Structure 1
């Protein structure tokens, strides 16, 4: 595979000179963690449905990684070959990535929710030579799906199946113990290790815009984010990191897989989100840090409150993916006894901004934080001129962690000659440098020439006691160009109608022009697995002929 990572070379000299790129890879950190604490806890992996738990010390983890690396090499995987995996959170994802890193292969994590349409495109686009899937996960037969796709994927040589006892099983194909006697094993494990600017991860965007793109990252781009992130949050080798957010997204991959290896910390992996199991894991393993989107925080706080069983070891919950309602921050802080940190980032950058651990509680619900070290942000108008503090404009990011580009689609890289990446988000930056995301550029609603502050109105509606989730999207209007529709998921057992919405927003002193003209009540909002609402699907829904009777006008 030839990777067109054209965004790496132009910024290398400056990034190294500034001390932002350290020219190390995950191999260096794994070696250091094994040497420092060979018998210390490295990974605990829980399968929620079966209750199965697998634990590894650093010595054991290193041994399994070596076996998998040798077996991948025997399967014909070489430097720069792509290995895809469509797996839930678990030890298999961790060991597979670390094994790929040993031999210079590139890991391509894929969400378990993907089906034939998405996989056919992604696996072909990536030129994947090996794909690892579960035999069954949440009732779906992934192995059968891949069998049906094989004929359309000429690059695909092997399908490996976790949970299978057959010859295609993960244990049988990749975890054999004979590599220790192979005289070529030491060379296999060392001769093709990647450099810090080689592509090590290929990950597809989550699809909030409906157009997945293959994001390429190197060790330098990923680690230059993970190190300052951990330092800001005061994380180190003594911490225990719970990760229930998908490892096929950057949240899980960077901070649940890579960060614990970098720190020498204990990673606790949960394959299916279950707040009762999460709370139990926190208590049993002494989890100190976790992160996820707003629903994760809501569920965990509710479970701890209802059970009356505290989670005293947990000191930080970082929440990202959507604005955090102020009332939730207060409830979660009281229930968990942990600091709630707000953050914003993208597949292309990792975390870009976070609030600070010592910030006032309100910061987490009113801002998305300040940039991490090595990250610059600016907000510009339609002519690319900076806007005054507090004004909304297009958010640009220039960061040491900016990606290497989109695979085979460099024309979409959205990065100018000075290194500024157009995020596609609207935001404002206050006088103290705190960023607040105001929505996607495509999500903006211009009603009769007036921009509606979508995120602010959504935040207000979240305060209504009957509202569980809300998203505001545009629908076309012949006279005004666009009008706003609020799509609401009520709390269980609660009712919500348009009059209740209007009365509530009026009581909040909202300008009449900002109150949505329509309301659609739904059981759920379309979202990515990381919790990001797919507003493009809501806009499509509002165009369906059958929707009219379901709207409150």
Structure 2
């Protein structure tokens, strides 16, 4: 595979000269941990449901990762080949990634929720040679699905099945003690082929909400340049215990749950899937100090800690990204959890780029998505490309150290100009102190009668209502005005909510009447990604189909 990471070289000299690209990979950080504390626990894996736990030291991970590297060589994998991994959070994921780095194999994490439709494209586009999967996860037979996929993917040579049986089993193909005889040869190969800091080491696909998924290419330098600044702002260090329940196949889990702890020399606690009661117990038992997830996770944890009376006093920071955090939730979480709630914004292409500081007042996490991290720049632009003044909404452009290397085989979609500015597709505004507020995606804008509606602000007002658990406002077609606004509402347990209640509440909050949604849909749940982001495109599609049916 040839990786056309065309966005790396144009900024390489500057990023290295300014110290943002320090030339280190996860292997460098891991080797330091291994040398300093080989017998310390590096990873604790917790299996949701059964509660099964497994601790692994740096020395154990090192030994198994070399064994796995030898196994991957036997399977024919080498430098710049692609391994796709659909494993849930766990020590196997960690060992496999380290093994790939040692051989220069490009790691492609894919979400456990993906099925044939998404995977057939991703694995073909990425020319995957080995596919690592669980035999069964959350009741779904991944092994059977993988065999169906393999029949139509000529590049896919081998399956590696965690918990499987026979020669394809993870344990047989990558962890067999007999592989230790091949480790010396693997070490020699690693000395030559191990991933460098500017080589593509991660291929991760966007969700493909419009058109085909895009294969985002990252290097160690692009990812770690984000992590340095991120950890520094939050004051994270070796004494921290990082809990990650968001899938490591998502950039949240991968960067902040896997890469960052090794950089910090901190202990990581991995949950294979989210369970609010288990999470509350793990935080209490393990003294978790930091976690990162989306707003629904924070809501779940707050409710559960209050119900169970669990001790969450060790949890210093809960970083929320993906959607605005309702003010009432921030206030309640601070009271119940005793935790600082940090708002942030980022993308698969860049990592978390803006976040508030722990020293900021809580209002900053309620009303903003933070200010930009060192090494990155932000610009708000009008439709004609000119920079907008403070306070005005426009297209959000970013550039700097953590910008990705480009989209695999689709450089025409890189959305990055000659000066390095990347079009995020988001709409934002910036205040006089440099804090930004994400006002929605470009495609999420509702333009009613030539007037843009401030969707995020309307949602934030509705979140204040005591009966509302979740809300999402999206456009639906209208012959006269082009678009109108519909509010999808999930009421809290035992509560109801109606259109008349919505109008009365918005009026009581003194919101301009032209911003009131003209329609409400009360639902049991909203479609969302595994990381908790609401999939507004699915709601828009539903309304558009209803509209088209009504006209046929």
Cα deviations across residues 36-82 of structure 1 (Å, max 9, x unaligned)? Answer: 11111100011112322121111111111111111111111000000
CA apart distance, 1:227: 1.2
Say which SS state the counterpart of residue 166 (structure 2) adopts. Answer: coil
The separation in 1 between residues aligned to 2:217 and 2:404, in whole angstroms, is 6
Structure 1: gaps (5+ residues): none
Match of 1:237 in 2: 238
CA apart distance, 1:548: 8.7
Match of 1:214 in 2: 215
The separation in 2 between residues aligned to 1:409 and 1:109, in whole angstroms, is 19
2:79 corresponds to 1:79:
yes
Cα deviations across residues 62-109 of structure 1 (Å, max 9, x unaligned)? Answer: 111111111111111000000001111111111111110011001100
Corresponding pairs, count: 549
- Kept after mapping to 2: 8 A contact 1:341/1:355: yes
Structure 2: gaps (5+ residues): none
What does 1:370-519 align with in structure 2 at a 5 Å threshold?
A: 370-519=371-520
TM-score, L = length of structure 1 = 0.97
| RMSD over aligned Cα atoms | 1.3
Distance 1:448 1:547, change over 3 A: closer
The separation in 1 between residues aligned to 2:114 and 2:94, in whole angstroms, is 20
What does 1:279-428 align with in structure 2 at a 5 Å threshold?
A: 279-428=280-429
The separation in 1 between residues aligned to 2:101 and 2:186, in whole angstroms, is 15
Cα deviations across residues 159-188 of structure 1 (Å, max 9, x unaligned)? Answer: 011111332111111112234333423213
Say which SS state the counterpart of residue 184 (structure 1) adopts. Answer: helix
The separation in 2 between residues aligned to 1:548 and 1:324, in whole angstroms, is 35
The separation in 1 between residues aligned to 2:268 and 2:548, in whole angstroms, is 45
CA apart distance, 1:316: 0.7
Match of 2:250 in 1: 249
- Kept after mapping to 1: 8 A contact 2:294/2:532: yes
CA apart distance, 1:422: 0.3
TM-score, L = length of structure 2 = 0.98
CA apart distance, 1:399: 2.1
The separation in 2 between residues aligned to 1:544 and 1:449, in whole angstroms, is 23
The separation in 2 between residues aligned to 1:483 and 1:339, in whole angstroms, is 37
Match of 1:32 in 2: 32
Say which SS state the counterpart of residue 470 (structure 2) adopts. Answer: strand
The separation in 1 between residues aligned to 2:436 and 2:232, in whole angstroms, is 20
Cα deviations across residues 265-293 of structure 1 (Å, max 9, x unaligned)? Answer: 10100011011111111111111110100
2:120 corresponds to 1:112:
no
Match of 1:137 in 2: 137
Match of 2:157 in 1: 157
Larger CA deviation: 274-283 vs 121-130: 274-283
CA apart distance, 1:546: 8.5
The separation in 2 between residues aligned to 1:295 and 1:532, in whole angstroms, is 9
Say which SS state the counterpart of residue 202 (structure 2) adopts. Answer: strand
CA apart distance, 1:111: 0.6
Cα deviations across residues 513-538 of structure 1 (Å, max 9, x unaligned)? Answer: 10001111111111111111111111
What does 1:521-540 align with in structure 2 at a 5 Å threshold?
A: 521-540=522-541
Say which SS state the counterpart of residue 51 (structure 1) adopts. Answer: coil
Cα deviations across residues 479-535 of structure 1 (Å, max 9, x unaligned)? Answer: 112111111111111111100010000111111110001111111111111111111
